[in-house]
Amino acid sequence: MIQPDQSILNARNRLIAMFLVLCILDTTLVIIARDKWAIGRILLTIVVMYFVLQGRQWAKWLLICICSFLVIILMAMVLLLSSKLSVILIVGSLMMAILSSIIPIYMIGSRDLAHYFSWKRQNYSQ
């Protein structure tokens, strides 16, 4: 089994760091908004991210869809309900929307991350 080089591991670590920031921000906003139903979405996203890190193609595309849908929902919520939301929820939602758009772009555009996913798939099949 060939070990990945440092740039590939750094790409994976950047993805994990972005995802952790997203989860922490999302959890904080859920607590502030007292939206208990969103906990299920957060848990689903964490499970999907686990499979992404295992190199599963379907999970990668599902996470990209979840993040894209999240951007649309958050932007619509801020635009339509901004008068009813606190400043903290507005700013947090905009930060989440930005991070939710950066993660899929990074997942699609990073060659090192693509090599990591390929390496994981190769090692999984053995």
Q: Does 24 map to a domain?
A: yes
Region for residue 35 given its phi and psi (left: phi exceeds 0; alpha: psi -120 to 50; beta: otherwise):
beta
Residues 9-65 have pLDDT tens digits of: 999 999 999 999 999 999 998 888 888 888 888 999 999 999 999 989 999 999 999
**Which residue range is the domain that position 65 belongs to?**
6-121
Q: Does 22 map to a domain?
A: yes
Q: Does 126 map to a domain?
A: no
Q: Does 65 map to a domain?
A: yes
- d(C-alpha 54, C-alpha 69), whole Å: 23
| Residues 99/21, Cβ–Cβ less than 8 Å | yes
Confidence band, pLDDT 50/70/90 cuts, at residue 85: confident
Q: pTM of this prediction? A: 0.85
Q: Does 1 map to a domain?
A: no
Could you tell me which of 117, 17, 4, 106 has the C-alpha nearest to residue 58?
117
Q: Does 63 map to a domain?
A: yes
Summary mean pLDDT of the chain? 90
Could you tell me which of 123, 119, 121 has the C-alpha nearest to residue 11?
119
Q: What are phi and psi of 92, to 5 degrees?
A: -60, -40
Q: Does 58 map to a domain?
A: yes
The length of the chain is: 126
Max avg pLDDT among 31-35, 37-41, 85-89, 98-102: 98-102
Confidence band, pLDDT 50/70/90 cuts, at residue 125: low
The two structure tokens encoding residue 12: 């994976």
Q: Does 19 map to a domain?
A: yes
Please report the pLDDT score of residue 68 as a whole number. Answer: 94
> What total of structural domains would you count in the chain?
1
